Structures are given as C-alpha cells and as structure tokens.
C-alpha cells in the first residue's frame, strides 16, 4: 500500500483542482457526448498529473530547501527521480494515445499543453524563472488551455469564439494572479535558490500590485468585452 499512496501524492491533484474547473466549464459550453467526454477527461487528468510530476522532478533540489515542499515524495526521497520521471512520461504517453485513438482533433491542443508546461518547468527555457513570462505562461497553461480543451472536447466546431474569449481570458487572468500569490508564499525559498520569478526580481510589493490588477481585470473583462460586441 505504500507505493500507490506516494504515487498519488506526487501527482498533487489538490493543486490543480482549479485546472479541472476550467476544463469542466469548457465542457459545459460544448456539451460533448459522454463517451468522448470520458476519454478527453482521462487524457486531461493524465497530462496534468504528468506535468506536475515533471515540474517536481526539475525542482527537486530547490524543494529540499523549501520547508513547505520538502516533505513531498520526491524531495523527501520516498520516490526516486528516475521513478518520478518514468511515471511522468508514462502519463504523458497515455494521454497522447487516448487523444490519438479517440479524439484526434485535440491532438495539437494537447501537445501544445504538454509542450508549454515542459518549457515552463525544465531547461533550456524554464519559463518559471523568467519574470512576467512566468505568470503569463502559467495563466495560459492553467486557465485558458484547460478551458479551451474542454470547449473543443465536442466533435462539433459550432461554439462561439466571442463567448470562448469572454470566459477564457478571465480564467487566464485569475490563474496568472494566483501564480503570483503562490510566488509570494514561496518568496524566501525562491530567493535563496535564485529562482527569478516576477516576485523575486521586482519585489513582493509590486507582486501584490500586479496580482490585484490581474484579479480586477478578470472581473471587469467580461463587462468591457460585451460592450465591444454591442
């Protein structure tokens, strides 16, 4: 029973419930057939779990020095880096197979999703260490792309682009602000490990300001967007 529990812990499902919400909201707009929804849903779960494990693989040394994250399975040594990497790749391959076999129209979108987060976590890009790019890419990857994958889960392509933008952009802004909020909590560890997040580069005060602006923009965007369409 030891290994299943730790392999579930390393997936950190509680950290991406907001991503599932965005995916589910997209499905509400498109209403795909139940069998197609289940395939895409499991593909999305596999991809996202693989993404989080990959991120922990690249962050394992920094996480060892982070009080809040040092108890995670990988930095604590409960799971080896090789096993974590193998699990991450296995989940991503499972996602790709599911999509290619049962939802081929989503292949490019899922590959973009995986590629963005791989670039976010690992070298040579490591977008999480590039100020501004860090919270923008996180907003796109955690908010807009899951929502868009949900919308495109239906084999139909008759959804409204303005409606997708009106819902998807605020989700992106909220997740960008949420990324800064998390970076504020990780400031000390990121500073010591020389991880150049926006908050580390420009300071916590500016981080709070930008976070507030992003959350405010998320609230006002639908209203202003609707005015543009009138």
Which of 23, 27, 20 is closest to 159 using CA atoms?
A: 27
Residue 2 lies in a domain: no
Number of domains in the chain: 1
SS3 152: coil
In whole angstroms, give the CA distance from residue 45 to residue 91.
9
In a domain, 3, yes or no: no
> What is the mean pLDDT of each successive set of 10 residues along the chain, which is 230 residues long?
72 95 93 92 97 96 86 92 96 97 94 98 95 97 97 78 92 98 92 91 97 97 81
Does 88 map to a domain? yes
Which domain, by its residues, includes 220? 9-229
Cα dist from 44 to 91, 116, 134, 141, 224, whole Å: 10, 14, 22, 12, 31
pTM here is 0.94
Residue 188 belongs to a domain: yes
Residue 32 belongs to a domain: yes
Examine residue 4 and state whether it is found in any structural domain, yes or no: no
Q: Is residue 110 part of a domain?
A: yes
Are the CB atoms for 139 and 147 separated by under 8 Å? Answer: no
Other beta carbons less than 10 A from residue 153's beta carbon: 27
CATH number of the domain at 48, please: 1.10.357.140
């Amino acid at each position: 029973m030891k290994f299943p529990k730790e392999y579930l812990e390393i997936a950190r499902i509680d950290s991406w419930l907001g991503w599932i919400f965005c995916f589910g909201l997209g499905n509400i707009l498109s209403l795909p057939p139940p069998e197609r929804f289940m395939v895409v849903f499991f593909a999305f779960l596999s991809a996202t779990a693989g993404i989080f494990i990959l991120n922990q693989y690249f962050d394992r040394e920094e996480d060892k020095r982070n009080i809040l994250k040092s108890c995670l399975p990988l930095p604590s040594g409960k799971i080896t880096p090789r096993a974590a990497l193998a699990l991450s790749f296995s989940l991503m391959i499972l996602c790709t197979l599911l999509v290619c076999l049962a939802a081929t129209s989503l292949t490019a979108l899922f590959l973009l999703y995986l590629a963005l987060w791989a670039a976010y976590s690992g070298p040579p890009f490591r977008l999480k260490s590039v100020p501004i790019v860090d919270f923008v890419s996180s907003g796109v990857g955690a908010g807009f792309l899951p929502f868009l994958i949900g919308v495109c889960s239906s084999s139909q392509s008759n959804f409204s682009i303005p409606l997708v933008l009106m819902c998807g952009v605020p989700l992106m802004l909220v997740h960008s602000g949420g990324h800064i909020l998390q970076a504020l909590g990780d400031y000390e560890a990121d500073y010591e490990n020389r991880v150049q997040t926006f908050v580390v580069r420009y300071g916590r005060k500016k981080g709070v300001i930008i976070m507030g602006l992003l959350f405010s923009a998320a609230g006002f965007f639908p209203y202003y967007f609707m005015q543009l369409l009138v």
